[in-house]
Copies of this chain bind each other. A is one copy, B any other.
Amino acid sequence: MMRAVSGHPSMQRAAPKPDDMLCFAVYAAAHAFTRAYRPLLAPHGLTYPQYLVLLLLWAEDGRTVGEIGLPLFLDSGTLTPLLRRLESAGLVRRSRDGDDERQVRIRLTADGRALRAKLKGVPDAIGRAVGLPGGELAAVTETVRRLGGTLRSKGAAEASGAPATAGRAGPRRRPRAGAPG
Protein backbone atom coordinates (compact mmCIF):
# COMPACT_ATOMS: atom_id res chain seq x y z
CA MET A 1 0.00 0.00 0.00
CA MET A 2 2.90 2.28 0.57
CA ARG A 3 3.08 4.77 -2.18
CA ALA A 4 6.62 5.97 -2.51
CA VAL A 5 6.46 9.70 -2.98
CA SER A 6 8.94 12.51 -2.71
CA GLY A 7 11.60 12.53 -0.07
CA HIS A 8 11.44 8.88 0.78
CA PRO A 9 14.82 7.12 0.95
CA SER A 10 13.68 4.42 -1.49
CA MET A 11 12.40 7.07 -3.84
CA GLN A 12 13.35 6.36 -7.40
CA ARG A 13 14.02 9.16 -9.78
CA ALA A 14 10.60 9.92 -11.17
CA ALA A 15 10.39 7.95 -14.39
CA PRO A 16 8.67 9.89 -17.15
CA LYS A 17 5.09 9.03 -17.94
CA PRO A 18 4.37 7.81 -21.46
CA ASP A 19 2.13 10.78 -22.18
CA ASP A 20 5.03 13.18 -21.65
CA MET A 21 7.42 11.28 -23.85
CA LEU A 22 8.27 12.15 -27.44
CA CYS A 23 8.77 8.51 -28.33
CA PHE A 24 5.28 7.67 -27.15
CA ALA A 25 3.73 10.60 -28.97
CA VAL A 26 5.36 9.36 -32.16
CA TYR A 27 4.39 5.77 -31.43
CA ALA A 28 0.76 6.71 -30.79
CA ALA A 29 0.61 9.06 -33.79
CA ALA A 30 1.93 6.33 -36.07
CA HIS A 31 -0.85 4.01 -34.95
CA ALA A 32 -3.38 6.79 -35.35
CA PHE A 33 -2.21 7.28 -38.92
CA THR A 34 -2.53 3.65 -39.90
CA ARG A 35 -5.92 3.64 -38.25
CA ALA A 36 -6.91 6.71 -40.26
CA TYR A 37 -5.78 5.04 -43.48
CA ARG A 38 -7.58 1.80 -42.76
CA PRO A 39 -11.13 2.80 -43.81
CA LEU A 40 -9.68 4.32 -46.97
CA LEU A 41 -7.48 1.38 -47.94
CA ALA A 42 -9.21 -1.69 -46.55
CA PRO A 43 -12.12 -1.49 -49.06
CA HIS A 44 -9.45 -2.01 -51.73
CA GLY A 45 -7.83 -4.84 -49.79
CA LEU A 46 -4.76 -2.78 -48.93
CA THR A 47 -2.83 -2.05 -45.77
CA TYR A 48 -0.82 1.09 -45.15
CA PRO A 49 2.61 -0.49 -45.79
CA GLN A 50 1.26 -2.00 -49.00
CA TYR A 51 0.04 1.47 -50.00
CA LEU A 52 3.53 2.86 -49.43
CA VAL A 53 4.97 0.21 -51.73
CA LEU A 54 2.42 1.04 -54.41
CA LEU A 55 3.24 4.75 -54.13
CA LEU A 56 6.85 3.92 -54.95
CA LEU A 57 5.88 1.69 -57.86
CA TRP A 58 3.49 4.26 -59.27
CA ALA A 59 6.36 6.74 -59.29
CA GLU A 60 8.79 4.22 -60.80
CA ASP A 61 7.76 0.75 -61.85
CA GLY A 62 10.02 -2.27 -62.07
CA ARG A 63 11.98 -1.69 -58.88
CA THR A 64 13.87 -4.45 -57.17
CA VAL A 65 12.97 -5.54 -53.66
CA GLY A 66 15.98 -3.68 -52.37
CA GLU A 67 15.01 -0.50 -54.19
CA ILE A 68 11.67 -0.65 -52.45
CA GLY A 69 13.08 -1.46 -49.05
CA LEU A 70 15.72 1.25 -49.00
CA PRO A 71 13.46 4.33 -49.00
CA LEU A 72 10.97 2.62 -46.68
CA PHE A 73 13.59 1.29 -44.25
CA LEU A 74 12.20 -2.22 -44.63
CA ASP A 75 14.09 -5.44 -45.25
CA SER A 76 13.24 -8.59 -47.16
CA GLY A 77 11.87 -10.23 -44.05
CA THR A 78 9.04 -7.73 -44.18
CA LEU A 79 8.84 -7.12 -47.90
CA THR A 80 8.94 -10.65 -49.27
CA PRO A 81 5.64 -11.74 -47.71
CA LEU A 82 4.09 -8.31 -48.30
CA LEU A 83 4.97 -8.42 -52.00
CA ARG A 84 3.76 -11.97 -52.21
CA ARG A 85 0.39 -10.80 -50.93
CA LEU A 86 0.32 -7.96 -53.46
CA GLU A 87 1.11 -10.53 -56.13
CA SER A 88 -1.62 -12.94 -55.10
CA ALA A 89 -3.99 -9.95 -55.04
CA GLY A 90 -3.08 -9.46 -58.69
CA LEU A 91 -1.52 -6.03 -58.25
CA VAL A 92 2.12 -6.82 -59.05
CA ARG A 93 4.24 -9.49 -60.67
CA ARG A 94 7.54 -10.69 -59.26
CA SER A 95 10.28 -12.01 -61.49
CA ARG A 96 14.00 -12.56 -61.24
CA ASP A 97 16.08 -10.02 -63.10
CA GLY A 98 17.66 -11.49 -66.23
CA ASP A 99 20.94 -9.66 -65.82
CA ASP A 100 21.30 -10.47 -62.14
CA GLU A 101 19.39 -13.51 -61.03
CA ARG A 102 19.77 -12.53 -57.39
CA GLN A 103 17.47 -9.60 -57.81
CA VAL A 104 13.71 -9.74 -57.99
CA ARG A 105 11.94 -7.03 -59.94
CA ILE A 106 8.46 -5.92 -58.98
CA ARG A 107 6.22 -4.78 -61.80
CA LEU A 108 2.70 -3.41 -61.57
CA THR A 109 -0.08 -5.25 -63.34
CA ALA A 110 -2.86 -3.39 -65.11
CA ASP A 111 -4.93 -3.75 -61.95
CA GLY A 112 -2.09 -2.35 -59.91
CA ARG A 113 -1.85 0.69 -62.15
CA ALA A 114 -5.61 1.13 -62.18
CA LEU A 115 -5.68 1.23 -58.42
CA ARG A 116 -3.85 4.52 -58.55
CA ALA A 117 -6.89 6.31 -59.90
CA LYS A 118 -9.19 4.67 -57.38
CA LEU A 119 -7.01 5.88 -54.52
CA LYS A 120 -6.36 9.38 -55.81
CA GLY A 121 -8.56 10.88 -53.10
CA VAL A 122 -6.66 9.30 -50.24
CA PRO A 123 -3.99 11.97 -49.70
CA ASP A 124 -6.60 14.70 -49.46
CA ALA A 125 -8.71 12.67 -47.06
CA ILE A 126 -5.70 12.20 -44.81
CA GLY A 127 -4.83 15.84 -45.22
CA ARG A 128 -8.23 16.84 -43.91
CA ALA A 129 -7.85 14.44 -40.99
CA VAL A 130 -4.48 15.98 -40.13
CA GLY A 131 -5.94 19.44 -40.43
CA LEU A 132 -2.71 21.40 -40.57
CA PRO A 133 -2.14 24.41 -42.81
CA GLY A 134 0.36 23.77 -45.59
CA GLY A 135 3.29 25.60 -44.09
CA GLU A 136 2.95 24.04 -40.70
CA LEU A 137 2.49 20.62 -42.29
CA ALA A 138 5.79 20.93 -44.12
CA ALA A 139 7.53 22.14 -40.98
CA VAL A 140 6.32 19.27 -38.83
CA THR A 141 7.14 16.77 -41.56
CA GLU A 142 10.67 18.08 -41.80
CA THR A 143 11.13 18.05 -38.02
CA VAL A 144 9.91 14.48 -37.64
CA ARG A 145 11.88 13.30 -40.65
CA ARG A 146 15.03 14.80 -39.19
CA LEU A 147 14.25 13.13 -35.87
CA GLY A 148 14.03 9.74 -37.55
CA GLY A 149 17.28 10.37 -39.35
CA THR A 150 19.04 11.30 -36.15
CA LEU A 151 17.84 8.19 -34.38
CA ARG A 152 18.85 6.03 -37.30
CA SER A 153 22.32 7.54 -37.57
CA LYS A 154 23.24 7.33 -33.91
CA GLY A 155 21.41 4.61 -32.08
CA ALA A 156 20.79 4.80 -28.38
CA ALA A 157 23.61 2.37 -27.70
CA GLU A 158 26.21 4.71 -29.12
CA ALA A 159 24.53 7.73 -27.66
CA SER A 160 24.61 6.23 -24.17
CA GLY A 161 28.18 7.17 -23.53
CA ALA A 162 30.65 6.67 -26.34
CA PRO A 163 31.06 9.39 -28.96
CA ALA A 164 29.74 7.73 -32.06
CA THR A 165 32.08 8.73 -34.86
CA ALA A 166 33.59 12.15 -34.81
CA GLY A 167 30.31 12.88 -33.15
CA ARG A 168 29.03 16.33 -32.69
CA ALA A 169 28.10 15.22 -29.19
CA GLY A 170 28.91 18.49 -27.56
CA PRO A 171 28.88 19.16 -23.83
CA ARG A 172 25.60 18.48 -22.08
CA ARG A 173 24.48 21.45 -20.14
CA ARG A 174 22.02 19.50 -18.03
CA PRO A 175 21.74 15.71 -17.81
CA ARG A 176 18.08 15.87 -17.03
CA ALA A 177 16.02 18.13 -19.21
CA GLY A 178 12.86 16.67 -20.68
CA ALA A 179 11.17 13.37 -21.23
CA PRO A 180 12.33 12.21 -24.61
CA GLY A 181 11.75 8.49 -24.30
Contact = CB atoms under 8 A, between A and B. Distances in A.
Interface residues of A, number: 85
B120 A159 contact: no
Interface in A141-166: 141, 143-145, 147-148, 150-152, 154-160
Interface of A: 12-13, 15-37, 39-40, 43, 48, 52, 55-56, 58-59, 71-73, 116-117, 120-134, 137-138, 140-141, 143-145, 147-148, 150-152, 154-160, 168-169, 172-181
Per DSSP, are chain A's interface residues mostly helix, strand or loop, or mixed?
helix
Contacts of A23: 33, 37, 48, 126
B156 A129 contact: yes
A128 B160 contact: yes
B123 A179 contact: yes
A37 B143 contact: no
